[in-house]
Amino acid sequence: MPWSKKLNIEIILRIIGILLMIEGFFLLTALPFSIYYSEDPFGWALLDGVHDFWPLLLSALFTSLIGIFLYFAAGKDVKKNLGKREGYIIVSIAWIVISVFGAIPFVLSGSVTSYTDAFFETISGFTTTGASILNNIEGVPKGLLFWRSMTHWIGGMGIIVLSLAILPFLGIGGMQLFIAEVPGPTPDKLHPRITATAKRLWGIYVMLTIVETGLLMLGGMNLFDGLCHAFGTMATGGFSTRNTSIAGFSPYIQYVITVFMILAGTNFTLHYLALHGKFKDIRKNEEFKYFIFIILVATLIITVSLIVIDQMHPETAFRDSIFTVVSIITTTGFVTADYLFWPGALWFIIFGLMFVGGSAGSTGGGIKVVRHLLLFKNSLLEFKRQVHPQAVLPVRMSGKPVSQDIIFNVLAFFLIYFIIFAIGTFVMSLMGLDFETAIGTTIATLGNIGPGIGHVGPVDNYSAIPAIGKWFLSFLMLLGRLELFTVLILFSPAFWKR
């Protein structure tokens, strides 16, 4: 649909309604854990404020009913074609709407006292940021903790991609939704039909989640902890069911989570190629090679530093180093050690990794390795262009030329990203935060990382941030998850011109 045509309000309402019905279903998946871990599962939680069964059930019913209402309010003769405007609007609004409704059970149960905190926790989950306001995670009812982790899992691969996988009619024009939600400069299609691509992506996602859950249970986790941590790992989210995150678990579990964080931070197209035995194509992928290279180099430097300076045991130093490096670069945010107590020089490495991000087409947030590579390659070629101004020197990635449009997109992304980072730091400083914490909150939410530096470090949380600051940081989380343009384009006057 050209930009000049009338906005298709009906299809927007219908798809938002469908997404709310899907969310209502996922809310119900937390009920078995609420029942199992409650002595009185059918106690009226709205009165005693203890149980989470009724808050979850009522939230699921209310969310589904609103979804049904929006679905039918769109009318019977809905035009199913989606234009660019509808795609951007649906994706941006959908993530806000599901967070608005997903926060309800936290408030109804009394586990979170204010809606601001509940919304912050929920959008942090859906955007896979992992920034929490909970001071006593283990005191929260298990059903709510499961829903909290489920928000990660839904948001990791994306609720829009899920809808494309299970609702074939969205395949008509569905590419607009896919482009707006999937991270990276360009979306990878595994099949000519976008519905088939969505199914393959979610299939791989589910398979890896099941495998990790099984391996975690072999290491001593129960089904509840195994699922919650697998959700957090594969979504690169970072919500744990423990106050100490992953620090209280065995080395085996820490290594398993490390491996699966790497898998989650890798382009899912490569997993698809691996399943089909196309390992030669994987070896050619430059982004993957540099992704692994950055992890290994950073891990080596930090490990040696911890052994030499802090006299740490070699295995512990290596395990803490690789876990932290992988957790930060993939923007997962799980914690096994407080890196703020490491030698000051290592802070620089950790802080730098917060600006890297995972691979394009992964569940990881941040800038993405491929954008750094393209920027670096284009900068080097600029020297040759100065010497040979008439030569045509295209940037190549994995042996293939990259279009100039993508290069311009990457350059614009970097400029806007760092402008937002600077503005965000300034805004948080105005709210009374010290400069270090202002930087930490901004990059940790914009990059969907979770733990930052300052008073939002790996052993702290965001509960002390002012209410208005939490709403601002929630906006940064959304910007980061949808990679800036999808949200910011809505503020452009040209977007709304008919």
The percent of residues in the chain predicted with pLDDT above 90, rounded, is 58
Q: What is the pLDDT of residues 356-387, one digit of tens each?
A: 999 988 888 889 999 999 999 888 888 887 77
Q: Is 396 helix (H, G, I), strand (E, B) or coil?
A: strand
Residues 6+ apart with CB under 8 A from 159: 19, 22, 23, 94, 95, 98, 126
What number of helices (H) and strands (E) belong to the chain? 24, 2
Q: What is the pLDDT of residues 404-452, one digit of tens each?
A: 888 888 899 999 999 999 999 999 999 999 999 999 999 999 999 999 9
pLDDT for residue 119: 97
Residue 141 to residue 224: CA distance in whole angstroms: 12
Strand partners, 401: 396
Q: What is the DSSP string of 462-478?
A: STTS-HHHHHHHHHHHH
189 pLDDT more than 60 = no
pLDDT for residue 165: 57
Mean pLDDT, rounded, of the chain: 87
pLDDT for residue 186: 53
The distance of Cα 221 from the centroid of its chain, to the nearest Å, equals 24
Q: What is the pLDDT of residues 257-266, one digit of tens each?
A: 999 999 999 9
The distance of Cα 480 from the centroid of its chain, to the nearest Å, equals 8
Q: Among candidates 264, 198, 196, 272, which has minimal Cα distance to 235?
A: 264
Q: How far apart are the first and last CA of the chain?
A: 12
176 pLDDT more than 80 = no
Q: What is the pLDDT of residues 14-63, one digit of tens each?
A: 889 989 999 999 999 999 999 888 765 454 444 444 478 889 999 999 99
459 pLDDT more than 60 = yes
Residue that is written with structure tokens 């009338």 in the block? 6
Contact call for residues 295 and 261 (beta carbons, < 8 A):
no
Looking at per-residue pLDDT, the higher value among 247 and 197 belongs to: 247
pLDDT band, residue 193 (cuts 50/70/90): low
What are the C-alpha distances in Å from 73 to residues 9, 14, 186, 403, 426?
11, 8, 34, 43, 43
Q: Is 401 helix (H, G, I), strand (E, B) or coil?
A: strand
Q: Among candidates 364, 341, 366, which has minimal Cα distance to 352?
A: 366
Residue 479 to residue 485: CA distance in whole angstroms: 8
Residue that is written with structure tokens 């930052």 in the block? 452
498 pLDDT more than 90 = no
